[in-house]
Structure 1
């Protein structure tokens, strides 16, 4: 079974969704037969290359409710072992990070890509790392087994950019409008950072080759409040 997860490094609910899906996968009887691949999505495609403080950025977008939004996701994250530190988060364009994830998948495989995804999320949300900076990305990639020199050379040019932009366009073309979105076997989609029990149910349904299309179980939101992040 192939599961494609559309997400953005800048999406806090994507971190929650990743953790909950992994809990479900760990409990799934057929987990050894599941391949997980991360697909790119950008919440803010025109985000600047220069990093900005998260609190400032979010307040501009959502006003007074931004603090409550951060508080909610922080509490949810705590139950999953995720330590959000929004006082140190830097918002920046994530295209370069998505390019690096493409490199990890194509040259090292899904397992290394998943490890890099986890490392990027932790660096962004818990460690205040600028995940748009090539130097920082190279170090994070090296931590999960990507050759440091290869990563540095890759990011120094435009290698992988066309492929990443094509994948971003494909996500829009197939109807992905909010993240995280989980696509099972290219047929069934579940949207949002669902509970682990929900993901486990879906895994079992897909394994049984259900003929009924699984529809998104959480509505797309125009804020990061209902288990998804949308523009």
Structure 2
């Protein structure tokens, strides 16, 4: 079974969704047959390459009055998933370069290395106040995930992977992806948002049955996200 997860490093619900999906996969009897890959998406491609406090940028976008409630809700959900969100330290920065390194991880080092790097980048962004666009820090994160240091240094010194990542983002938009995380199963069925692990497990079981006895139909219906918001479950463009 092929599962493609469209997400952005700057999306807190993508972090929650990753943890919940991994818990579902751990409970799925046919987990060894599931191939998971992470696909790029940028909620805001216009985000500057120079970092700034995430809290300030979110206040501009959603309004300061709404921000504390949103962050408190995420902190509560994160704690339940073993995630220590720290929005006072988090830095807003363009994620294109980080997506390029994730592309490199998958292309040359495999899905396991990509998943490890994805987790490392999400933790760096949301829990550690790291600049995930900084080449030196990206190199360290990549090495921690199992990538070769010399290869990563050379890669970041070039434009390699830029066109490929932008093409994948454009393809996601053409598919109708407007909020992340979006989980696409077998290229046919989409589930949007950081669903509960039990829901992901149910979807995995449904897709498995569809593969065994293909008869059309949908494995799941993607819930709608609020426009221009990080509501419960997903972040919309």
Q: Deviations over 1:139-175 (max 9, x none)?
A: 1001111011111110111011010110010010111
Q: Is contact 1:218–1:226 with CA below 8 Å preserved after alignment?
A: no
Cα separation, 2, equivalents of 1:200 and 1:125:
26
Cα separation, 1, equivalents of 2:221 and 2:90:
29
CA displacement at 1:124 relative to structure 2:
0.6
CA displacement at 1:215 relative to structure 2:
4.3
The match for 1:207 is 208
The match for 2:93 is 92
The match for 1:47 is 47
Instruction: Number of aligned residue pairs: give it.
Output: 231
Runs of 4+ in 1 over 2 A off after TM superposition: 214-218
The match for 2:135 is 134
Query: Is 1:13 aligned to 2:18, yes or no?
Result: no
Cα separation, 2, equivalents of 1:59 and 1:12:
15
Cα separation, 2, equivalents of 1:141 and 1:123:
12
Structure 2 residue runs without a partner (length 5+): none
Backbone CA RMSD of aligned residues: 0.9
Structure 1 residue runs without a partner (length 5+): none
CA displacement at 1:212 relative to structure 2:
1.6
CA displacement at 1:216 relative to structure 2:
3.6
TM-score, normalised on structure 2? 0.96
Cα separation, 2, equivalents of 1:226 and 1:60:
20
